[in-house]
Amino acid sequence: MRPKPAQQWVYVTAKQTFLRDRVAAVSNRTATVVNGDKLQVLDHGRRFVKVQTEKGEQGWIDEKAVANDQVYGLFDALKEQHKNDPAVASAVVRDEVYLHARPGRDTERFFLLQEGAKLKMLARATLPKAVPGSKGTRAVAPPVVVPAKPGVSGALAAAVPPPPPPMEDWWLVRDAQGRTGWIFSRMIDVDAPEALTRYAEGQRIVGAYILTTVNDPEAEQDDKNIPVYVTVLSPYKAGLTYDFDQVRVFTWSVKKHRYETGFRDRNIEGYLPVTISVAKDPYGKSATAVVPAPIFAYKVLAGEADEAVPDPVTGAVVPGKTVLKTYRLEGNLVRRVLQPGMPAPMEAHPVVIEKKADKGKKKKR
């Protein structure tokens, strides 16, 4: 007596396909299956698998249109591992796109997201872009040979460092159904109102968060409670060792009935998430003496910390020492919250700031 073989399952990865009654140039369709359907394996062919649907329909399907239990297990593990992770921002899918089990274009993929699907962004990874003809996304671009200039010795020409390899950003996301996976950053847009995107000034909005609301009875909007936003922005560049380099608060002017910039923090190396809360006593005074007001906070790289480097395997960027910056909204004014008598700690800057004294010396020379 031979033991009964264990049941095998495959899962449809194609958007939609059909089962056929036989593997031949001419065949009949027996059923239609869509992305995510679970099929029981009945037999194996050369390039096709005979399966049965949950309704009992049987037929052959191309093995390239399905994923095995191992691939499904990777996505199930991702969902379980990150089910309680807080979202750092919200996004919308630009076009139909697959979720991947790991960052990279050639990694395992399964769930197909539709255009306009809402996503919760959980974490970012940055990896070298795949070189054409190589396998995987971790291939390093070949070194660039810089021709020597006339009058420049070969030793000096060889000392010129090659340009860094092009990078790609990937986001770990979770959709409304709880499905979790990695998605190419260019295939999603951060969910931000159009009233703010016009003020982006060529920057990419990484996150937009409602800090509070202002009632404006004469506003053109149907909802007269206008939200006040905290936004974080970054350049349109992949491979950054930080999540954003600018923070802007958009307050609402009741007199002019429009958004205005109430606060801006630039040239920083900031990291998500941005936290929003309400505090009564941010300055260490009596709680009864301070009116509750919205508080927002974010972390930036400390001035004495080393530059963060992406992990070569996972692509995760883990900064060293950071500084927590906390601000309080008082009406339309934004004030930084610091401990009494404590100076503001030093911060790192993507663009080096020259001292005024140094500029003066250069002019004298």
Among all chains, which residue has been given the structure tokens 């054409």?
Answer: 132
Kindly tell me if the per-residue pLDDT of 52 is higher than 90.
yes
Higher pLDDT, 261 or 280: 261
- Please count the other Cβ atoms lying within 10 Å of the Cβ belonging to residue 88: 21
pLDDT band at 341 (very low <50, low <70, confident <90, very high): confident
Place of tokens 């480097």: 309
Determine phi and psi for 196, rounding to 5 degrees.
-100, -35
pLDDT band at 182 (very low <50, low <70, confident <90, very high): very high
CA distances from 162 to 69, 147, 185, 345, 351 (A): 43, 12, 26, 35, 21
**If residue 299 lies in a helix (H) or strand (E), which one and from where to where?**
strand 293-301
Name the token pair of 256.
């002019």
How many Å apart are CA 331 and CA 254, to the nearest integer? 12
Mean pLDDT of the chain: 86
User: What pairs with residue 210 in β-bridges?
Assistant: 229
Q: Is 264 helix (H, G, I), strand (E, B) or coil?
A: strand
Q: What are the extents of the domains in the chain?
A: 9-67, 69-131+166-189, 192-336
pLDDT tens string 292-314: 789 999 999 999 888 888 888 88
Task: Decide whether 9-67 matches 69-131+166-189 in CATH topology.
Answer: yes
Specify the range with the lowest mean pLDDT, choosing from 12-16, 18-22, 153-157, 262-266. 153-157
Q: What is the CATH number of domain 9-67?
A: 2.30.30.40
Q: Residue 154: which pLDDT band, with cuts at 50, 70 and 90?
A: low
pLDDT confidence of residue 139 = 47
Is the domain covering 69-131+166-189 a CATH 2.30.30 domain?
Answer: yes
Contacts within 8 Å (CB) and 24+ apart, 316-323: 316/123, 316/125, 317/124, 317/125, 317/126, 317/241, 317/242, 319/241, 319/242, 319/269, 319/271, 322/271, 323/299, 323/347
Burial of 198 (0-12, 13-18, 19+ CB in 10 A): exposed
pTM, to two decimals:
0.83
Q: Which of 176-185, 187-196, 352-361 has the highest mean pLDDT?
A: 176-185
Element housing 195 (H / E):
helix 194-197
pLDDT band for position 146 (cuts 50, 70, 90): very low
Q: How remote is the C-alpha of 136 from its chain's centroid? A: 20
Over residues 41-61, mean pLDDT: 93
pLDDT given at position 13: 95
